[in-house]
A = this chain, B = another copy of it.
């Protein structure tokens, strides 16, 4: 049962990493959590970094699945007949849903961001992670802009970057402080985005 064992190690790595973080989790810890010998993890993963990357990818699968079930594909194109405004609103709802469901994944992700600051291999994985989600938001934004009364100054990519950043920043505040009302913050962001998308001609001059 080689594949099964590999999976058991990745699952154990997820639990251990969520609980203790990358630098505080040893390969021995992970092996113990998986109930295998200390050396076995290195049979399947050459380095600890590789195991972390595999763990992230695995942990993202249920999220991707949730998006797909909601009729949205993070990587594929938007459905032909989709109203971008509707998709955007659904996106904000899904963001709130994620917040309730995937606290462990966020811990893992933010931990990986920290590690990636000084680790090229992890940094590459982090950039890919960001790019995928940002590109998805950009596709929606593109459609929203097309339907706007007045073209915005900023590009769809820049707006997507601001939106992704905002969601990330809100998630971070939630992880750092469980009492933080992240849903209210997402609602606020949503309200800003809608005001932007439905704005009439507006002067940028200070009143």
Contacts and interface: CB of A to CB of B under 8 A. Distances in A.
A136 to B, nearest CB: 15
A127 interface: yes
A170 interface: yes
Contacts of A118: 20-21, 24, 111
Contacts of A191: 152-154, 196, 204
B176 A123 contact: yes
Copies per assembly = 2
A204 B197 CA distance: 11
B162 A165 contact: no
Contacts of A155: 184, 188
Nearest to A194: B204
Given A152-B191, A195-B199, 15 more contacts: A21-B114, A113-B172, A117-B175, A154-B184, A154-B187, A158-B185, A161-B184, A164-B169, A165-B185, A166-B166, A166-B169, A191-B196, A192-B193, A194-B204, A198-B207
The 3 A-B pairs at the shortest CB distance, nearest first, are namely A114-B114, A165-B169, A154-B188
